[in-house]
């Protein structure tokens, strides 16, 4: 009977130990998103970037489109790397 209680106790311990503080994790995600949103808003809205593919049509031209730099993939990638690096340097122990 003691062995059953011991097995029950051992099986419950990982469940109790793995509980995460949701406020901490949600707070970290919110901080990252607020920082990203603030950084996007600091970019000049009139700044554009040419995006397109490297495919060449039969006439020898590529098809490009102008897109807002603030929401471009290259800007957002660099922005996320910078924000995550800053947050990990400043807040993670």
Lowest mean pLDDT among 14-28, 34-48, 79-93: 14-28
pLDDT for 47 beyond 90: yes
pLDDT digits (tens, 9 = 90+) for 3-16: 665 666 566 655 55
Q: Is the pLDDT of residue 54 over 60?
A: yes
**What percentage of the chain reaches a pLDDT higher than 70?**
70
The structure's pTM equals 0.59
Q: In what helix (H) or strand (E) does residue 58 lie, and over which residues does it extend? A: none
Write the CA distances from 81 to 1, 60, 76, integer angstroms. Answer: 55, 36, 9
């Amino acid at each position: 009977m003691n062995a059953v209680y011991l097995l029950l106790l051992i099986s419950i311990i990982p469940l109790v130990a793995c509980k995460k503080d949701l406020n901490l994790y949600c707070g970290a995600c919110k901080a990252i998103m607020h920082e990203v949103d603030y950084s996007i808003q600091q970019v000049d809205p009139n700044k554009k970037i040419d995006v397109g593919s490297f495919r060449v049509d039969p006439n020898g031209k590529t098809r490009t489109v102008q897109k807002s730099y603030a929401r471009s993939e290259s800007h957002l990638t660099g922005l996320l790397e910078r924000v995550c690096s800053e947050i990990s340097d400043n807040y993670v122990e």
